Amino acid sequence: MVEVARLQKIPDGDNETMIPVLSSKKASELPVDEVASILQANLQNGLKNCEVCHRRAFHGWNEFDISEDEPLWKKYISQFKNPLIMLLLASAVISVVMHQFDDAVSITVAIVIVVTVAFVQAVDLSIDESSLTGETAPCSKSTAPQPAATNGDLTSRSNIAFMGTLVRCGKAKGIVIGTGENSEFGEVFKMMQAEEAPKTPLQKSMDLLGKQLSLYSFGIIGVIMLVGWLQGKHILDMFTIGVSLAVAAIPEGLPIVVTVTLALGVMRMVKKRAIVKKLPIVETLGCCNVICSDKTGTLTKNEMTVTHIFTSDGQHAEVTGVGYNRFGEVMLDGEVIHGYNNPSISKIVEAGCVCNDALIRNDTLMGKPTEGALIALAMKMGLDGVQEDYIRKAEYPFSSEQKWMAVKCIHRTQQDKPEVCFMKGAYEQVIRYCTSYNCKGQSLPLVQQQREQYQQEKMSMGSAGLRVLALASGPELGQLTFLGLVGIIDPPRTGVKEAVTTLISSGVAIKMVTGDSQETAVAIASRLGLYSKNSQAISGEEIDDLDIQQLSQITPKVAVFYRASPRHKLKIIKSLQNNGAVVAMTGDGVNDAVALKAADIGVAMGQTGTDVCKEAADMILVDDDFQTIMSAIEEGKGIYNNIKNFVRFQLSTSIAALTLISLATLMNFPNPLNAMQILWINIIMDGPPAQSLGVEPVDKDIIRKPPRNLKDSILTKNLIVKILVSSIIIVCGTLFVFWREGKETGGFKKAVDT
């Protein structure tokens, strides 16, 4: 019995006492008596005072200690531990040694500005951990290791950011060190953790650019220093020149401008009702070439209304009215059906109402729209109180995997009568539990002919774009009587068709992933223009039968994945990524979290989405609208353009400075720019001109341009030519000014002479 608990030794005078420790997971699995016995608790009298003190000495108080925060000055000093800053500091020291005090002061001032800007932007990460620790005051974070003695409580771990907590202000980079396995969401988080979030294209481009620039510039600097040394110049002079060149060549403002540009894009996107959780995702949107979207609620309105009823004995009724209210009628052969005057129809309505968790109050729906549609139908028939006639004894809840829901009830006024089951769900699921069908109040054995007829009816309702629910009732789940089908309309969202057309014409493939039937899914997809003659539709079952490689071969042609559940989404993503696609995937349920993490852009639904899927997503659509994805893609493409413009601007100045100094050194001329001047130019250039490029409004036609190829480097041939032309103009201009001013003041000649 004690196996389930840990016994922890603690010193007790000369002896050691054992304190039992029991995890909440284990405790939840055990009866109360057993828990009390393991923890040596007395259920009648509680713990004795001495025992309380004893255990408190081991466990501590039932609260979190607030540890002292790292002083701000320490955080500030740590900013100087950057190799480039160290290099500049060394250059300032050398300037002092060489008695160039004005240079030393200017370089130092510039360093202080750079460090302060960085400190204000990268420091001061403040996190609201109230959901985790109950501590309402925001917690400051730093990277300083915490002493083991104060590290017992979560609040004292000020170098750790916890999942599920909210950033109040600031930003920081972190390493994922683990998942909350002991929390309720632990299992889902564990799975999400197994899926590594891929690096975004911008991160990859910037990594590549950084490597290329460092390699080239350090190579050139090495050559210049060698040439200078061979020319007999002093090694200290060459070091100063080397530092100037490093400062000139490395566009240290780039990460800040990229961040600011992305942040401005994120703010613009909030106005378009898309919340982006990870900055670089904004730019990934511009590369997105496949969008996998849920149907219900994203492409369609998720406003369900029953429009058609088919009874198991072959009657067809039409239902009028829209929305969750009693306005509308059920019409059969031109006659209004009300109450119980058509038993076949009222049985369907009764089953739909009893096997239901939704409520309509003052024309407002509380619960799922599919269920709300059935309650509204009952209201139109005057049967909306029918649930009150039954007492629910058991429930088999709906899940996207199972695709049906059932309840077991007894009649309130006939409690001595046997229990009755009601079931509703996808036709092919419900029919598996039926052995008979209702024919004018009688239960007749279900034969193949009936099944074929019902299958046919279900297909024709689906082909009209209706969501089809089958209904059944009976004494046992395996012995149900099939009652009929209802067809529910869920109109496409306005504007989605146009968004789909624009995206498809720009080269973005759109795929619908839905739990609905083939006919319904294909009908809606065709209406929205994302399914054509050449497209294919495959089911969740077919996905199960294929491995990722096989699936990859057919996914380019598949426009609809029907009867799919959340677990299929991950396989769909992997197969698309296998073909080199950049995939955006939408999701709302807890089970979608893993797929959202694996997608290049995980998109969660703001209204219907669960917290877990919002946590896993990169972007949240505030109003669940597909059109917002298009606006986000538009913004992503625009932002990349702005970043590219900034890179062009920065590199032109960097290369110009590098060329100037290289030419001067190689030709044994005086240095036209010293380290301090280069640094100031950099600071000014990183400021207003760079920021203004970041806020350029998005070109309206950019959405029509094809998604950027992931393999394209940010430095295309075209861009390099433009950079070189700009650099040459800057170099010529600067040399001219240097020559003219130097000629007038005699400084140039003096400098050459010396």
- Binding segment for ligand ATP (CB under 6 A), chosen from 88-96, 142-150, 203-211, 403-411, is 403-411
Q: Does 568 bind ligand ATP (CB under 6 A)?
A: no
Strand 15-21 vs strand 442-445: parallel, antiparallel, or unpaired? Answer: unpaired
536/555 Cα distance (integer angstroms):
9
Structure tokens at 21: 């420790």
Helix extents (H) in 280-424: 281-284, 343-354, 369-381
Q: Does 398 bind ligand ATP (CB under 6 A)?
A: yes
Burial class (CB in 10 A: 0-12, 13-18, 19+), 175: exposed
Pick the binder of ligand ATP from 75, 141, 157, 295 (CB under 6 A).
295
Q: Closer CB to ligand ATP, residue 626 or residue 640?
A: 626
Residue with tokens 């408190």: 56
Q: Closer CB to ligand ATP, residue 295 or residue 637?
A: 295
Pick the binder of ligand ATP from 202, 469, 537, 657 (CB under 6 A).
469
Amino acid at 384: D
Residues β-bridged to residue 472:
423, 482
- 138 to 283, 429, 611: CA distances (angstroms): 30, 50, 21
623/601 Cα distance (integer angstroms):
18
Structure tokens at 742: 């130097």
Q: Does 624 bind ligand ATP (CB under 6 A)?
A: no
Residues β-bridged to residue 536:
558
Q: Does 482 bind ligand ATP (CB under 6 A)?
A: no
Q: How far is CA 612 from the centre of its chain?
A: 10
Q: Does 310 bind ligand ATP (CB under 6 A)?
A: no
Cβ pair 702, 637 in contact under 8 A? yes
Residue with tokens 């917002």: 628
* Coil, helix or strand at residue 311: strand
Q: Closer CB to ligand ATP, residue 253 or residue 297?
A: 297
Q: Does 694 bind ligand ATP (CB under 6 A)?
A: no
Q: Does 371 bind ligand ATP (CB under 6 A)?
A: yes
- 444 to 437, 447, 479: CA distances (angstroms): 5, 9, 12
- Name the residue number minimizing CB distance to ligand ATP: 515
- Binding segment for ligand ATP (CB under 6 A), chosen from 19-27, 418-426, 432-440, 648-656, is 418-426
Q: Is 294 a catalytic residue?
A: yes
Structure tokens at 669: 């001329």
Structure tokens at 608: 């219907």
- 506 to 298, 701, 706: CA distances (angstroms): 21, 10, 5
703/692 Cα distance (integer angstroms):
22
Pick the binder of ligand ATP from 515, 602, 636, 694 (CB under 6 A).
515
Pick the binder of ligand ATP from 307, 514, 577, 674 (CB under 6 A).
514
- Binding segment for ligand ATP (CB under 6 A), chosen from 189-197, 401-409, 568-576, 721-729, is 401-409
Residues β-bridged to residue 305:
489
Q: Does 422 bind ligand ATP (CB under 6 A)?
A: no
- Binding segment for ligand ATP (CB under 6 A), chosen from 114-122, 206-214, 511-519, 545-553, is 511-519
State the Rg of the chain over Cα: 35
Instruction: Give me the least distance between CB of 627 and ligand ATP, in Å please.
Output: 17
Contact positions with ligand ATP (CB under 6 A) in 130-169: none
Instruction: Give me the least distance between CB of 604 and ligand ATP, in Å please.
Output: 13
Number of C-beta neighbours around residue 543 at 10 A: 24
Number of C-beta neighbours around residue 547 at 10 A: 9
Pick the binder of ligand ATP from 426, 486, 503, 661 (CB under 6 A).
426
Q: Closer CB to ligand ATP, residue 379 or residue 471?
A: 471
Instruction: Give me the least distance between CB of 263 and ligand ATP, in Å please.
Output: 32
Q: Does 493 bind ligand ATP (CB under 6 A)?
A: no
Q: Does 296 bind ligand ATP (CB under 6 A)?
A: yes
Pick the binder of ligand ATP from 185, 189, 404, 738 (CB under 6 A).
404
Pick the binder of ligand ATP from 301, 347, 424, 571 (CB under 6 A).
424
Pick the binder of ligand ATP from 140, 400, 453, 460 (CB under 6 A).
400
Q: Closer CB to ligand ATP, residue 446 or residue 485?
A: 485
Q: Binding residues for ligand ATP, per CB under 6 A?
A: 294-297, 368, 370-371, 398, 400, 403-405, 424-426, 467, 469, 514-517
- So which residues are the catalytic ones? 294
